[in-house]
Structures are given as structure tokens and as C-alpha cells.
Amino acid sequence: MEPPSQNLKTTPLLSLRRFHISEDYGFLLPNPLKELPDQFRPWMEIANELPHLIESRQLQARVNKMPLLSCQGLKSYREQRLAHLVLSFITMGYVWQEGQTQPKEVLPRNLALPFVEVSRNLGLPPILAHADLVLTNWTTRNPERNLDIIVSLPGGESLRGFILVTVLVEKAAVPGIMALVQAVNAILQHRDNSLLRALQQLRLSIQDITRTLGQMHSKRWKDNPAMPVGLTYEGVSTEPLKYSGGSAAQSTVLHAFDEFLGICHSKESADFLHRMREYMPPSHKAFIEEIHSAPSLRDHILSSGNDQLLTTYNKCVEALVELRSYHITVVTKYLITVATKAKGRKPNHLPGPSQALEERGTGGTVVLSFLKSVRDKTLEAILHQSD
């Protein structure tokens, strides 16, 4: 059968470079900066002392004395990403310095104005998101190139471990992202042998993500009962603004896999997941949309009559189901169990896994119900010859 050459001329092949996605690091920012230009030293000095300043309840006083700096001095994309990381962490600490019961409801203009400015430049919201907490917040230290984080909050090794394992999960997804691109292009070129190999690699990558997750705890002011009206950014808006904080649902990896495999979630889950895309770097969100508009993998497999393709596709779906089942186990163990135990402890200055996580879950969804729905809808994607 001759390939439809007309389509090949009009449909461009998918390329990671077009979406600023690294072939070595995936959605992680390659080699993030650890220092800003000298004029931004006031930000970096506070960021480097954050855990101590929060625990000693000195952060708000330090921020109130901080000079108002313009983001125009940030020349490169990586400088802007580090600035967003630093300002998002300072904002988180400023709001929650006094704990869950006394959150600050107004962000001072010397913090709010540059944070909103750099956020607009990057197309990100002015809040600590997955793009900051994980994608920008990693580095290597010492000759062994051991992983470490750049900015931290109170939480010690527990928080550090959570961030670094999530970095490793993003890194484990890289072969799967590469395989996804190869598979989309194989469909466009009607090369079923290449598609088969790409699907086999995708399954292996998903399984590797699950193993990496086994090495394994976020706060927000949208859907947060401690801040029901949101946060006022002084000098930006007179009305409180609401954003969701860092969440695994903001990772582009599983969004991309779902779009490619044709996973259809319930309306409530799908609405939430689509809302989480607004917290991704715009180029990553565009990558998901490009996959969505590509030819349907499921339709291609069913029309091909290729049993080997169908079987391999189903193995990819089954691997994704296993990953999501394991994620449920992790969330149950580390968020709900730990939150229950934390009730009897002295409250931390920063809100931990609290009632917002226990009862409402990530981004305002009942967490276990949401995760189980996502897992079950993934399982429903299994193909049968009669489909």
C-alpha cells in the first residue's frame, strides 16, 4: 500500500525542539541556574535562608524591608525561571509563616509586583507550581554529581526527598516522551514497524516511572479552606486572586501519555486536569495540544487490523493503569496516613498535609476518588478486536 504522500507534505512531523523539550531531560529545565545577577541579591539572600527565616518567624519582616526590583534585569529564560522559583518560594513562606490558622491575605507590592511581572513574561501563574517546585528546582553537586534542590522550605530531608524523587520521575519519563514523538511520526508516515517499536519503548518507560516512584509529600490558596477568598497581590489587584499550588497533576508527562493513548476521563476529572495545564510552561501545554490534534493512535490501530500493534497498545495502557494504582498507594501512605498522624502533633509554621489534602485532595478534588476515577478510566481504554 502506498503512503499518502499528499498528507506527508502538508503535515509536519512532531519535534521536541519546537516545544523547548529536552531530549536529555524531558520537561525538566536543563541545567537550571543557581544564582541570579548581582542586582537580585536581596531575593537570593532571603531564598537561601528560607527555612530558618520561616521557623524563626522573621521572614515577613525581612520581605517587608526588601527593595522593589524590576524584572527587566533578567536577560535570559533560565534567569526568569530561577526568579520565578525564588519568588514563589518566598511567597509561600510569607503567606504561611504564622501557620495554617493565620495566613497572610495580602502580598506586599515589593514581592507581588516582580512576581506577577516575571510570571507574565513566562506565561506561568504567580504561585509555586510544579514547574518551580520540581522542573526548575534541581541541581547536581560534588564530583559524583549527586542531585540536590536549589531552594527549600521547612520540611528538611522529607521535603528534599519528595522533590528529588519527583525530579527522577520526570527524568525516567524521557524515553517515553521520545517514544511518543517517534510513534506520532510513524503514524503520519504509515510505518507500523516503527510504531510498534515506539509503543514497546513507551511501555518500558511507564514501567520505569512506576519503579522510580517507589523511591518515595503541597499547599495552595485555591480550594484551600484556610484562605477561602484567595490572596491579594498588592499593586496588582485590589481583589484576591485564586490559584492552585504545586501538584503532580501539573506534570506534562501523563497529560501527554493520556492524549496519545486516547484516554478519556470523566467530565469532573477532565475539567480539573485541563485546568492544571494552565500551570505548565506554555510550550509544554502546546505540546499536549499538538498530540491531541495528531492522528488518532486508537483509530490507526483498529483500522490497521494489526494484532501485534493492538496487543502492544494494550500493554501500554495496562502499564499506565499499574502506575496509577501505585500512585494511589503512595498518596494513601504519605498524604492521608501522615496527615492523620499529624493531627496530634504541634502545628508547623507552614501547613503540612492538612484537612485540605485529607478531605479535598489535590486541587480541590477528593484525592482518592479522583485518582481512582483516573485509573479506572484508563483501564477502560483497553482495545478489543470488536472495537
- Tell me the binding residues: 327
The residue with cell 495554617 is: 100
Q: Helix or strand or coil: residue 233?
A: strand
Whether residue 355 contacts residue 225, with contact meaning beta carbons closer than 8 Å, is answered with: yes
Q: State the DSSP string of 313-350.
A: HHHHHHHHHHHHHHHHHHHIIIIIIHHHHHTTSPPPSS
The CB-based long-range contact list for 66-69 (8 Å cut-off, 24+ gap) reads 66/42, 66/110, 66/111, 67/42, 67/110, 68/109, 68/110, 68/113, 68/114, 69/39, 69/40, 69/42, 69/43, 69/110, 69/114
In this structure, how many other beta carbons lie within 10 angstroms of the beta carbon of residue 207? 19
Query: Across-strand partners of 148?
Result: 139
Residue 150 is given by DSSP the state S
How many Cα atoms within 13 Å fall on the side-chain side of residue 241? 16
CA atoms within 13 A on the CB side of 347: 12
- Rounded CA gap, 111 and 235, in Å? 10
Return binding residues for heme b. 327
User: How far apart are the C-alpha atoms of 264 and 161, rounded to whole Å?
Assistant: 32
Match 496588582 to its residue by C-alpha cell: 236
